[in-house]
Structure formats: structure tokens, C-alpha cells
């Protein structure tokens, strides 16, 4: 049977529970164990697919097409294990399943209650398909004390009785702030948050203490005493220069050793952390740097582009350089002067247009594409970015001013149009306009065929690729001639040859648009080939700046 580790958070949000869980996963993996990471989300949405990126950050898409929290991206990047839809569980999902059962009469007349029906459903979700893992690490979203989180805390409290003390471990991630006026680190917020947890029947076994400076012996003693944990289980989690340092620094603080001790596992040889050391070494001592501009709509919240940001860093790691990212608000370009556009875009070595929705900011994104095309700056269009590169070409080179996406309203030249059905293996999936918005896009992994005479083929060294998708609109092949007349070619299509997946320019050193999201599959120890190539092209330009 798997062993269960529950990670809760206290004091404030944004302490990095996702990175902490993912890093512990990486450490246990480095000790030879098979890990499974799961996120339990207290919010009422069924999934984050319909949530505003400004509020919720990126929507991470799994191979099997679930729209999930961005923490699943951390899990995949740190462990290389691909998540599934069962690894993201929200209150909304639990309640809709329980209510559907109630409607079917499955509860045989019982009064349906939070305890035991909701908590049983949460426990079943935690246990689902866990048999083959050595460890299941479950992160509970939110902060201890949130009303929404109570059923989850109750469920994990009960689980210790179900699976046994030696098969379960509670880790509490907390903040130990430095108060300048007092000149000391304060333990009281952690004491209160642990008391809150204890009042729900949960005694944390390990405290993971975020702090901006080392936690002295006296504070450790206090934390251990007041929070009822062993002093060696007060683990310091200092701020570090790169997230990829976290597994190493947790190991140095003894986290994985304490975890193994709790589960009465023989201390094997120390974990092999060479890959993390190599990554950190390149990140801290790059041989050069490169500046990439990301022109999008959600640039004021970098979390909205979490995987993209990491994939660019990975591309830099592969080329041994630091990637400076300029987050450029597309609306700023669209509302500003030509001089501002040149000021913002001319220093860039590469321009990336990320995924997005809705018409706002698209003029600015197309101005950036035009600038990159004319000045031969490497241009990478992802999903929305690919669709806009098609519109830019048709409008500016093809003089088809009316070319548009039906996402933005009716048009006489729907160069990008709504897909209403698409094939997934032998199954035809349909979308009915006016129906539900949630979970109805073309989601998850689909295969794609690349033309052998394309740059994309050279980059992948393979004609058959598979990538993750999240879109509802698609480049319209009715206009392929008009598009080719502008120099933009469709070089990748779905295996049935129906849907365009990759476009590129032959008259440009590096101009590629992809309908999928390659950033979701990039890992620090296995950077995505498109990002490696994009950063390389950005580095190798002979432009004068």
C-alpha cells in the first residue's frame, strides 16, 4: 500500500506549497521511490478552466485533457511524472459527483451530509489509483483556517485512522517572519496556525518553515515545544535564488531523512541529486544571457504564464544562458506610439506571443508579430500566438484587411474559425455553441505529423509528435493558398490531416507558430526542443542592437 503525505499551509498563502510538495516528490524519487502528487482544491469551481487567469494564474492541462491548477505543472517539472485528471480534486468536483449520486438514489434514502458523504468522496479521490505508488503526496490548497478547506482537513484527519500512523505523515508549511523593529524572527504566527490545525484533530509531524534568514537554535526550540514536534522535525526552508535549488536545500536540512524515519524506512544511500546540482549550477553561473519579450494580455500576473516562464528558463539551461524575460502588455503597444513600440521591441532577441482568449490586446500582439517578421527577430507563436500570426500575415502582407477570427465576432473572411467537432482516436468529440464553457475545448494530448522539409521537423528530429492542447478555434484551411502567398506555410497537421498544428515562414530565420502548448511538457532536466531552438536562434542573431 502507498504511504500518504499531506501538505497543509499556514499563516499566509503563496508560501510555495506546490514547490515544497514537488521538491519532496523529487527527493523521494531520487531515493528510488515511486511518487504520485495530488492537489486538493477547496474552491467551488469544478476545475479552474473557466477562471480568470488574473485571479487564478495558469490553467495547466494534463495529457488526458483535464484543466487543472498550476501546481500540477510544478509536480510534473520536478518529478517528470505526467499527471492525470485524478490528480486534481476540487470541492466543486466532489460536490457534483456526490449530488449526482444523490439524484440517482445511490444513497438509498440516507440524509446526505458533509461527514461522511463528502469526506468519504474526498478520501476515495485521495486513494484512487494509488496502489502502485510508494508515496502519495497530497497538497491541500488554501490556508489552514479557511472555511472551504474544512472538509479536506477532516478527510485527511480520518485517513490517518484508516491507513495507520506509520503510513501517513502531516507536513505543515508555515512562515517565520523577521520583524525589523524587533530585530528578530517571530514564531507566534506558526504557533497559532498549528493550534488551528490541532483544533481540527491534526498534529503536524514536520514543520517546514519559510524564512528569509536562518532560524536560530532558540526559535527552533520554541517552535518544537509550542507546536509539539520533535526539534529535528522543524525544517528550515530558506528563500533560494532558483526554485530548482529547493530539493537540494530541503535535503541539506534533513527533510527526506525525517520523512523516511517517520515511515520507518531504512536510510538508503543518500539520494542522487546530481541533476539538480547541474541545473542550479547553470542557473547560477550562466555563460551569457538573452532577452525575450513575451507580449500578452495577462503580463501583470506572471503566474498566468507559469509553465511558459519555466520553459523559457529551461531553453536557457539547455543553451547555458540566463533568459531575461520582458513581460510586455499588448495593450500598451496597441495604445502607444510607434516610438514606444520600437523602444520596447528593438532590444529584444526573441519575441513570444503566448496563449490567450478574447479580442483585447490582439492589435498589440499583431504589431509585435509584424515587427518580428520585418526585423527578422525570432518569433514564437503559441496557440493564440499562432492564430494571430496567421491573421497578421493575411492582413498585412496579403492585404486581406477583413481576415479575422470568429472568436472576435462575425467576419467575411474567417481565417481562424470555431471548431465544432474534432477526432480523438476513433471518437468524434463535439462542441455545441451556446453550451457549457467548462471542459469543452479541444483538450489534452493529440498527435501531430510534421512535414519533413520543415524547420519544426529538424527541431524535433521526428515527424510524429504529440503535444497538449487547449483551444476552441482553429486556423481555417480554406485559406491555405492566401496564406502561402504571404510566405506562411502549414507544416504540421493532425494525423487525420484535418487540423493545422504548426505554421512557419520560409523567409525568416526563426518564425514558428504552434496550435499546442509545448511549454506544458518542458522539464528542467529535459527542456522542450522548441524552446531550446528558440533560445538558440535568439542567441545566434547577427543583429545590431
The answer to whether the beta carbons of residues 22 and 245 sit under 8 Å apart is no
C-beta closer to ligand GLN: residue 316 or 355? 355
Distance of alpha carbon 20 from alpha carbon 246, whole angstroms: 8
Q: How far apart are CA 502 and CA 25, in angstroms?
A: 34
Q: Which three cell numbers stand for residue 130?
A: 494509488
User: In this structure, what are the phi and psi dihedrals at residue 146, rounded to the nearest 5 degrees?
Assistant: -70, 135
Among 135, 250, 460, 473, contact with ligand GLN (rule: CB under 6 A):
473
Name the residue nearer to ligand GLN (CB basis): 206 or 368: 368
Cell of 484: 502561402
Name the catalytic one among 67, 154, 467, 519.
519
- The answer to whether 471 contacts ligand GLN (rule: CB under 6 A) is yes
Given CA atoms 355, 360, 362, 368 in this order, what sign does their dihedral have? Answer: negative
The region of 30-38, 92-100, 448-456, 470-478 touching ligand GLN under the rule CB under 6 A is 470-478
Give the cell for residue 226: 509550542
C-alpha cell at 22: 514537488
Interface residue with ligand GLN among 263, 357, 431, 489 (CB under 6 A) is 357
Confirm whether 233 is a catalytic residue.
no
List phi, psi (to 5°) of 305. Answer: -125, 40
Nearer to ligand GLN, 42 or 356 (CB): 356
Report the distance separating Cα 402 and Cα 394, nearest Å.
9
* Residue 508 binds ligand GLN (CB under 6 A): no
* 499 close to 471: Cβ distance less than 8 angstroms: no
Cβ of residue 136: shortest distance to ligand GLN, in angstroms?
30
Cα 238–Cα 240–Cα 241 angle in degrees, nearest 5: 165
Stretch that binds ligand GLN, among 5-13, 274-282, 295-303, 466-474 (CB under 6 A): 466-474
Residue 268 CB, nearest approach to ligand GLN (Å)? 43
At 357 the three-state DSSP class reads: coil
Q: Does position 294 bind ligand GLN by CB under 6 A?
A: no
* Residue 297 CB, nearest approach to ligand GLN (Å): 10
Judge whether 392 counts as a catalytic residue: no
Q: Shortest distance, CB of residue 126 to ligand GLN, whole angstroms?
A: 30
153 binds ligand GLN (CB under 6 A): no
x/- site string to ligand GLN, residues 378 to 407, per CB under 6 A? Answer: -----xx----------------------x
Nearer to ligand GLN by Cβ, of 280 and 391: the residue is 391
Using the contact rule CB under 6 A, the part of the chain among 111-119, 178-186, 244-252, 349-357 near ligand GLN is 349-357
Q: C-beta of 443: minimal distance to ligand GLN in Å?
A: 10
Residue nearest to ligand GLN (CB): 355
Beta bridge partners of 450: 492
Q: Count residues near ligand GLN (CB under 6 A).
A: 10
Q: Say whether 452 sits in a helix, a strand or coil.
A: coil
Q: Binder to ligand GLN among 57, 355, 513, 518 (CB under 6 A)?
A: 355
How many whole angstroms separate alpha carbon 293 and alpha carbon 96? Answer: 41
Q: Smallest distance from the beta carbon of 355 to ligand GLN, in angstroms?
A: 3
Helix (H/G/I), strand (E/B), else coil: 498: coil
Q: Is 88 in a helix, a strand, or coil? A: strand
By three-state DSSP, how is residue 77 classified?
helix
Distance CA 364, CA 135 (A): 47
Nearer residue to ligand GLN within complex by CB, 319 or 405:
405
Instruction: By CB under 6 A, tell whether 472 contacts ligand GLN.
Output: yes
Q: Which stretch binds ligand GLN (CB under 6 A): 99-107, 162-170, 420-428, 468-476?
A: 468-476
Can you tell me the distance from the alpha carbon of 510 to that of 526, in angstroms, rounded to the nearest whole number? Answer: 22
The binder of ligand GLN chosen from 17, 39, 74, 470 (CB under 6 A) = 470
Q: Name the DSSP letter for residue 377.
A: -
Nearest distance from residue 472's CB to ligand GLN, in Å?
Answer: 4
Whether the bond into 116 is cis, omega within 30 of 0: yes
Shortest distance, CB of residue 442 to ligand GLN, whole angstroms? 8
Task: Kindly name the residue from 74, 322, 517, 528 that is annotated as catalytic.
Answer: 517
Instruction: Compare residues 250 and 305 and give the one whose CB is closer to ligand GLN.
Output: 305
CB of 306 to ligand GLN, least distance (A): 14
Q: How many helices (H) and strands (E) does the chain have?
A: 19, 25
227, 233, 260, 383: the active-site residue: 383
Residues 1-30 that bind ligand GLN (CB under 6 A): none
Q: Of 181, 115, 102, 180, which is closest to residue 153 (Cα–Cα)?
A: 115
For 279, residues 6+ apart whose C-beta sits below 8 A from its C-beta are 242, 244, 317, 524, 525
Q: Which residue has the cell 517546514?
A: 208
**CB nearer ligand GLN, residue 373 or residue 471:** 471
Helix residue spans in 306-425 (DSSP H) = 306-318, 330-335, 338-345, 362-374, 384-392
The yes-or-no answer on residue 517 being catalytic is yes
The catalytic residue positions are 383, 517, 519
The residues binding ligand GLN (CB under 6 A) are 355-357, 383-384, 407, 470-473
Amino acid at each position: 500500500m502507498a504511504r500518504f503525505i499531506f501538505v497543509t499551509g499556514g499563516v499566509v498563502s503563496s508560501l510555495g506549497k506546490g514547490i515544497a510538495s514537488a521538491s519532496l516528490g523529487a527527493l523521494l524519487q531520487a531515493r528510488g521511490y515511486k511518487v504520485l502528487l495530488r492537489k486538493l482544491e477547496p474552491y467551488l469551481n469544478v476545475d479552474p478552466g473557466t477562471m480568470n487567469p488574473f485571479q487564478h494564474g495558469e490553467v495547466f492541462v494534463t495529457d488526458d485533457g483535464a484543466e487543472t491548477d498550476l501546481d500540477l505543472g510544478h509536480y510534473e517539472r520536478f518529478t517528470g511524472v505526467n499527471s492525470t485528471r485524478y490528480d486534481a480534486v476540487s470541492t466543486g468536483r466532489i460536490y457534483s459527483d456526490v449530488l449526482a449520486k444523490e439524484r440517482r438514489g445511490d444513497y438509498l434514502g440516507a440524509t446526505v451530509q458533509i461527514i461522511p458523504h463528502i469526506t468519504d468522496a474526498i478520501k476515495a479521490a485521495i486513494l484512487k489509483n494509488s496502489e502502485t505508488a510508494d508515496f502519495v503526496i497530497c497538497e491541500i490548497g488554501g490556508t489552514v483556517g479557511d472555511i472551504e478547506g474544512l472538509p479536506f482537513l477532516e478527510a485527511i484527519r480520518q485517513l490517518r485512522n484508516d491507513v495507520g500512523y506509520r503510513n501517513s505523515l502531516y507536513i505543515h508549511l508555515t512562515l517565520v517572519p523577521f520583524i525589523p523593529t524587533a530585530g528578530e524572527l517571530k514564531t507566534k504566527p506558526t504557533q497559532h496556525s498549528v493550534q488551528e490545525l490541532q483544533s481540527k484533530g491534526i498534529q503536524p509531524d514536520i514543520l517546514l518553515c519559510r524564512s528569509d534568514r536562518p532560524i536560530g537554535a532558540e526559535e527552533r526550540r520554541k517552535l518544537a515545544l509550542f507546536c509539539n514536534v520533535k526539534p529535528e522535525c522543524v525544517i528550515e526552508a530558506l528563500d533560494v535564488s532558483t526554485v530548482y535549488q529547493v530539493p537540494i536545500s530541503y535535503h541539506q536540512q534533513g527533510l527526506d531523512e525525517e520523512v523516511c524515519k517517520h515511515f520507518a524506512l531504512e536510510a538508503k544511500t543518500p539520494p542522487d541529486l546530481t541533476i539538480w546540482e547541474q541545473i542550479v549550477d547553470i542557473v547560477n553561473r550562466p555563460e551569457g544571457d538573452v532577452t525575450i519579450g513575451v507580449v500578452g494580455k495577462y503580463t501583470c500576473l506572471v503566474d498566468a504564464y507559469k509553465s511558459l516562464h519555466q520553459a523559457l528558463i529551461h531553453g536557457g539551461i539547455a543553451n547555458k544562458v540566463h533568459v531575461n524575460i520582458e513581460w510586455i502588455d499588448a495593450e500598451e503597444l496597441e495604445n502607444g506610439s510607434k516610438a514606444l513600440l520600437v523602444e520596447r521591441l528593438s532590444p529584444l532577441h526573441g519575441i513570444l506571443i503566448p496563449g490567450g482568449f478574447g479580442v483585447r490586446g490582439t492589435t498589440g500582439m499583431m504589431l509585435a508579430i509584424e515587427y518580428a517578421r520585418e526585423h527578422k527577430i525570432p518569433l514564437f507563436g503559441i496557440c493564440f500566438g499562432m492564430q494571430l500570426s496567421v491573421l497578421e500575415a493575411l492582413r498585412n502582407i496579403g492585404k486581406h484587411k477583413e481576415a479575422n477570427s470568429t472568436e472576435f465576432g462575425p467576419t467575411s473572411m474567417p481565417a481562424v474559425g470555431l471548431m465544432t467537432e474534432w477526432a480523438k482516436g476513433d471518437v468524434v468529440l463535439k462542441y455545441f455553441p451556446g453550451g457549457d464553457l467548462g471542459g469543452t475545448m479541444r483538450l489534452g494530448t493529440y498527435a501531430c505529423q510534421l512535414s519533413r522539409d520543415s524547420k519544426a521537423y529538424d527541431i524535433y528530429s521526428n515527424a510524429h509528435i504529440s503535444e497538449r492542447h487547449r483551444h476552441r478555434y482553429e486556423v481555417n484551411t480554406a485559406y491555405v493558398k492566401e496564406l502561402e502567398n504571404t510566405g506562411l506555410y502549414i507544416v504540421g497537421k493532425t494525423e487525420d490531416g484535418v487540423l493545422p498544428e504548426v505554421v512557419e515562414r520560409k523567409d525568416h530565420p526563426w518564425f514558428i507558430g504552434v496550435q499546442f502548448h509545448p511549454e506544458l511538457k518542458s522539464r528542467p532536466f529535459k527542456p522542450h526542443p522548441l524552446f531550446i531552438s528558440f533560445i538558440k536562434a535568439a542567441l545566434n542573431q547577427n543583429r545590431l542592437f
